[in-house]
Amino acid sequence: MPRHHARRLLVVALAMGALTEVLFDGPALGLNLLILVGAALAAAWRFRREGRAPDPLDTWLPVAAIVLAAFVAVRADPFLGALDALAALACCGLSAVSFSGLVVTRRSASIVVAIGMWVGALVSIGALRVLRASRGEPTAGSAHRRPAWLAPVARGLLLAIPLALMMATLFASADPIFRRGLDDLLGLRIDLGALPGRVLFAISAGWFTAGFLSIAAHGIPEPAAGFLDGTSISGSSLGAASRTVERGWTGILGATEAIIVLVAVDAVAALFVGLQVGYLFGGLDTLAAIGMTYADYARRGYFELVAAAGLAGGILVGLDLAIARRPAAYLALAVTLVALTIAVLLSAAVRLGLYQDAYGWTELRLYVAVSIAALAVTLVVLGALVLAARTRWLGHAMAAIGLVSLIGLNAMAPPAFVAERNVARAIDPSLVPPDGWSGLDVEYLAVLPDDAIPVLADALPRLPAEYAAAVRDLLEARAAELATDPAYAGLAAWNLGRERAREALARTLGR
């Protein structure tokens, strides 16, 4: 793709990102999806690969995408609308493949699935190909007109500014103290309101749009295209193709651009962590000085901080994949970002712990806590892989960490864990901080799965009178349901957690 063509594609992608934010920030699904699909198909056709005509048999794909998107504006059934939207987006992605000149409809089902997997991957990271094409090749005369360092610095700033902005807006959304400190640092007094989320959404949509358009402009990488054409199907050929594709991304960025990006992101993360040391980790007196309680300060923010940590990890993986040379400065900044991101996760964990202390546990809070721990371990592994130039093993490491986390959750039994700790708070209010709530949410306990029943049954005699009657009613209702519902009868429906619940109910209720 010529450089001017790639740059126009990036401009259109940013415009599409802004359009997506306007269409979907607030409104429910309706005409907005039809407008977006139509605009995406038009842009993909405009930037289609030259010299490669689409197969006439694939004409139905963009037509189907438009029709399915229109159904979303016709029918008011949310479930049906979700199915129509997913099908429309799938047809839209396959349309981009056909626009690039790769045949789709004539392929076997397995090949179409493989194409779909490549579409998903390229929508995520295909913008890197466009960025590489937008750099172009320097001409003989250009070296005399400007310093050699100017172009990589400009490219680095072009990448660093939006990434640093995304990180800063996440931190500002998560933490009012950081937002205040950022305002003081920049001399601004701006109420960000919904701006951080809108900016993030627009930039993210633009990134994915650039990846989508890159499919129509570039097609699928040649080794993959060869496999899809059926020319290489052996295991060794697939391994070689994978290595070729991996090498194809290398060199998209230079070391200068990567270092500038890391400096910008490290600076934002360091500013946030520095404020956390003074406020969140500084104790009650520090927060009281600004008129905030622990519970108020921790009420929100940990989801944004987890997202910021994920963004930092994605930046590291993307940079390590895209650069060919890894100087010592790059490695030092990468390790620094890992350390700062772990500190950000620590802040998220402290916030979650404070909020849990004040209001008790839920299954969602437990899952978030486990995800924070898993992400922290992943970041440590990522740092080691970056130093060893082995980031291609990150996927294997993440799969192992995810499996261990899942096994740990099964061993923990989240409903029992949540019920046990919430009941303990109601029995012993001294476990609750002064500004917390020591009550028992029986309505929430009623929706917990059967693993929670033995905990509630054993705690019933010790519960305060104001909660004991409601919990007994809950247990009696569950006992009746287990005894009468035919879905729970027979050997095929046997479940250890449910059997333990039956035994606990029989022991407590005398049934």
Q: Are residues 318 and 371 in the same domain?
A: yes
Q: Are residues 189 and 280 in the same domain?
A: yes
End of a domain among 354, 375, 409?
409
Q: Are residues 173 and 322 in the same domain?
A: yes
Q: Count of domains in the chain? A: 3
SS (H, E, C) 124-172: HHCHHHHHHHHHCCCCCCHHHHCCCCHHHHHHHHHHHHHHHHHHHHHHH
SS (H, E, C) 412-448: HCHHHHHHHHHHHHHHCHHHCCCCCCCCCCHHHHHCC
Return d(Cα 249, Cα 223) in angstroms, integer.
13
Q: Are residues 279 and 377 in the same domain?
A: yes
Q: Are residues 125 and 152 in the same domain?
A: no
Return d(Cα 150, Cα 260) in angstroms, integer.
12
- Provide the residue type at 263 as one letter: V
For position 64, what pLDDT does the model report? 92
Return d(Cα 204, Cα 215) in angstroms, integer.
17
In degrees, to the nearest 5, what angle opens at C-alpha 407 toward C-alphas 406 and 409?
65
Return d(Cα 321, Cα 335) in angstroms, integer.
16
Q: Are residues 166 and 75 in the same domain?
A: no
For position 305, what pLDDT does the model report? 79
Return d(Cα 414, Cα 417) in angstroms, integer.
5
Tell which residue, 27, 185, 215, 37, has the closest CA to residue 125.
Answer: 215
Task: Please indicate, yes or no, if residue 495 is contained in any of the structural domains.
Answer: yes
Task: Please indicate, yes or no, if residue 381 is contained in any of the structural domains.
Answer: yes
Q: Are residues 158 and 277 in the same domain?
A: yes
Contacts of 400-405 with C-beta under 8 Å, sequence gap 24+, read 401/374, 401/377, 402/374, 405/370, 405/371, 405/373, 405/374
Instruction: Categorise residue 59: left if φ over 0, alpha if ψ from -120 to 50, beta otherwise.
Output: alpha
Q: Are residues 157 and 124 in the same domain?
A: no
- The answer for residues whose C-beta is within 8 angstroms of residue 295's C-beta and 6 or more apart is 354, 355, 357, 358, 359, 433, 435, 436
Tell which residue, 268, 448, 275, 289, has the closest CA to residue 360.
Answer: 448
Task: Please indicate, yes or no, if residue 218 is contained in any of the structural domains.
Answer: no
- The answer for residues whose C-beta is within 8 angstroms of residue 214's C-beta and 6 or more apart is 9, 122, 126, 127, 129, 130
Contacts of 470-477 with C-beta under 8 Å, sequence gap 24+, read 470/442, 471/440, 471/442, 471/445, 472/509, 474/442, 474/445, 474/446, 475/505, 475/508, 475/509, 476/509, 477/446
For position 118, what pLDDT does the model report? 78
- Report the first-to-last Cα separation within the chain, whole angstroms: 75
Q: Are residues 191 and 327 in the same domain?
A: yes
Return d(Cα 359, Cα 439) in angstroms, integer.
9
Task: Please indicate, yes or no, if residue 105 is contained in any of the structural domains.
Answer: yes
> Residue 270's CB: how many other CB atoms inside 10 A?
15
Task: Please indicate, yes or no, if residue 239 is contained in any of the structural domains.
Answer: no
Q: Are residues 126 and 152 in the same domain?
A: no
Cβ-contact 349, 325 below 8 angstroms: no
Residue 485 belongs to domain spanning: 435-509
Task: Please indicate, yes or no, if residue 209 is contained in any of the structural domains.
Answer: no
For position 511, what pLDDT does the model report? 63
Return d(Cα 272, Cα 345) in angstroms, integer.
12
Return d(Cα 167, Cα 172) in angstroms, integer.
9
- The answer for residues whose C-beta is within 8 angstroms of residue 497's C-beta and 6 or more apart is 413, 449, 450, 451
What the block records as the tokens of 302 is 């940990």
For position 1, what pLDDT does the model report? 66
Task: Please indicate, yes or no, if residue 422 is contained in any of the structural domains.
Answer: no
Q: Are residues 185 and 274 in the same domain?
A: yes
For position 425, what pLDDT does the model report? 92
For position 455, what pLDDT does the model report? 94
Cβ-contact 127, 13 below 8 angstroms: yes
Looking at the chain, the number of H-run helices and the number of E-run strands are 24, 0
For position 292, what pLDDT does the model report? 55
> Residue 275's CB: how many other CB atoms inside 10 A?
20
- The answer for residues whose C-beta is within 8 angstroms of residue 38's C-beta and 6 or more apart is 66, 69
Tens-level pLDDT at each residue, the chain (511 residues): 677 778 888 889 989 988 988 888 777 778 888 999 999 999 999 988 887 888 899 999 999 999 999 988 887 767 778 888 888 999 999 999 999 888 888 887 777 877 887 788 778 777 777 777 776 555 555 445 556 667 777 777 777 877 787 788 788 777 777 777 666 665 545 455 566 667 777 887 888 888 888 888 887 764 445 545 444 433 343 344 344 444 445 556 778 888 898 999 999 889 888 877 766 555 444 455 455 555 555 555 667 777 888 888 888 887 887 787 888 999 999 999 999 999 888 888 887 887 888 889 998 889 889 988 998 999 999 999 989 888 878 878 888 998 899 999 999 899 999 999 999 999 998 888 877 788 899 999 999 999 999 999 999 999 999 999 999 999 999 999 999 988 888 888 889 999 999 999 999 987 6
End of a domain among 135, 165, 193?
135
- The answer for residues whose C-beta is within 8 angstroms of residue 230's C-beta and 6 or more apart is 111
> What are residue 504's DSSP bridge partners?
none
> Residue 85's CB: how many other CB atoms inside 10 A?
17
For position 187, what pLDDT does the model report? 53
Cα–chain center distance at 277: 26
Using the structure block, give the residue that is written with the tokens 């438009």. 66
End of a domain among 409, 427, 448?
409
SS (H, E, C) 75-92: CCCHHHHHHHHHHHHHHH
Task: Please indicate, yes or no, if residue 417 is contained in any of the structural domains.
Answer: no
Q: Are residues 43 and 185 in the same domain?
A: no
> What are residue 323's DSSP bridge partners?
253
